[in-house]
Structure 1
Amino acid sequence: MKYIKFKNYEYQVPIGKIVCVGRNYAAHAKELGNEVPEFPVIFLKAASNVIYSGEAVIHPKYSNNLHHEVELVLYIGDTIKNVNEEEAEKAIYGYAVGLDMTLRDLQFEFMKKGDPWTLAKSFDTSAVLSDFILKEDYKLRGDENIILKVNDSIRQNSSIKNMMFSPSKIVKYISEKMTLEKGDLIFTGTPEGVGRVVPGDKIFAEIENVGSLETYIVE
């Protein structure tokens, strides 16, 4: 079982489902040749995909194009269904930095066939997490900088203000489609600048005032 780890607190919460949002930054959607969606694109990762800062991402042998995607991650602390935006905001208990590692070659292949993205998004070590900071200790301003470096070279550098759907809107939308429960995590999408990583690469990701993580790619 994988657990949510909290900054400055020793208790842990089991991770439930991981709901991910695609194409939430217009520039990222455009860089991959995708249309900007009217509503969030939703997919899932398994809790077993999770690793933590300092651990290694294992490059699957069946892919030749592993991409990094840095994201703001939300921790849901209440069970909610069909909530309004104010209730959605209250259900967000904390934040973390996350990496949605993606097998881009498989994803493009699946998209051409009209198949689900699951095997391109949900594989061992595909979800990297920092410790979570609780909202009671820090509440988002909404304009925090979000960056990712590969081997000390900046690849992604944006602000969460560029998200098309805010955290509360995302939670509201998902709650209309499925029940969200304590321990569920929501990856809120990545800004432009995604790119390939290979074994030996080192990744550093950070969101201003939220946290940071480090990982590296191995075969």
Structure 2
Amino acid sequence: MSNRLFADPSFPAVPVVGTDDLYPVHRIFCVGRNYADHAKEMGVEVDRETPFYFLKNPLALTANGSSIPYPPGTENYHYEMEFVVVIGKPLFKASIDEVSDAVFGYACGLDMTRRDLQLVARAKGRPWDFGKDFEQSAVLTAITPAAEFGAIGEQSIWLKVDGETRQDAKLSDLVWSVPELLSHLSHYYHLQPGDVIYTGTPAGVGAVVAGQSIEGGVEGLEPISLNILAAE
């Protein structure tokens, strides 16, 4: 009988609002350049022919309200506030009209980014992994069930650093709507419960340093927060 050399980490899980349930997170999909003004501030054009994605390891997930050290290898550590879609049923090769029943709920997320490393990779045509996928780079709130949140429309999405507003937009500003994203992604992956999709960030991204605090939200969802400590 073979023995594993060390213990396997369990998948992280987040609470569901109003219940004692926990939702295990198996995969984190992230949509890039899904707000036109954010794409503009990053010096790129929105690809209106097809959505653009990258992934984060679920072990990068950190709890809402955490205090975390400034990450290694960067001098330009950015916040990105995001509306997150949580999958509740299998979804594969679905049409736009078929995806709504597969949504379990919604949450607020932070896609923390080592921007200097991302931009170096982008300039060289390399993957973004070093800039995007690192320890404690994904924050996620408790999940609000889809029926309680209601239809996606003009809800505000915002972020503050030390009380100063940095991002302020509406979900209606999304370039690719949630049904469009889920339909498109389902033609490339067998989406399953445990999958979450960060749908992109509005304009206003910027750097944070040790000692600063982030708070943000989407109207109708539990707010998100993160405290930045000195580097280890």
**Which residue of the other structure, out of 2, 9, 14, is the alignment partner of 1:4?**
14
Identity %: 36
**Which residue of the other structure, out of 169, 184, 187, is the alignment partner of 2:180?**
169
Q: Which residue type is aligned with residue 170 of structure 1? A: L
1:110-167 CA distance string (max 9 Å, x none): 0111110011111111001111100122213411000000000000001010001111
Query: 4+ runs of 1 displaced by more than 6 Å?
Result: none
Q: Which residue type is aligned with residue 69 of structure 1? A: E
**Which residue of the other structure, out of 48, 54, 58, is the alignment partner of 1:47?**
58
Q: Which residue type is aligned with residue 179 of structure 1? A: H
1:80-118 CA distance string (max 9 Å, x none): 110011221221110000000011100000011111001
The aligned length equals 219
Secondary structure, aligned partner of 1:176: coil
Aligned to 1:19: 29
Shift of 1:57: 3.4
Shift of 1:34: 0.8
Q: Distance in 2 between matches of 1:138 and 1:64?
A: 37
**Following superposition of structure 1 onto structure 2, how do residues 14-163 of structure 1 map, counting pairs within 5 Å?**
14-38=24-48, 39-163=50-174
1:167-189 CA distance string (max 9 Å, x none): 11111111011111111000000
Deviates more, 1:18-27 or 1:128-137: 128-137
Q: Distance in 1 between matches of 2:146 and 2:139?
A: 20
Shift of 1:33: 0.1
* Contact 2:75/2:116 (<8 A) preserved: yes
Q: Which residue type is aligned with residue 27 of structure 2? A: K
Shift of 1:40: 1.3
Secondary structure, aligned partner of 1:20: strand
Q: Which residue type is aligned with residue 104 of structure 2? A: Y
Structure 1, gaps ≥5 residues long: none
TM-score, normalising length: structure 2: 0.92
Q: Which residue type is aligned with residue 5 of structure 1? A: P
Shift of 1:4: 2.7
* Contact 2:32/2:51 (<8 A) preserved: yes
* Contact 1:89/1:167 (<8 A) preserved: no
Q: Distance in 1 between matches of 2:124 and 2:143?
A: 37
Aligned to 2:8: none
Larger radius of gyration: 2
CA RMSD of aligned residues (A): 1.0
* Contact 2:14/2:141 (<8 A) preserved: no
Shift of 1:59: 1.9
1:191-218 CA distance string (max 9 Å, x none): 0000000111100011001220111112
TM-score, normalising length: structure 1: 0.97
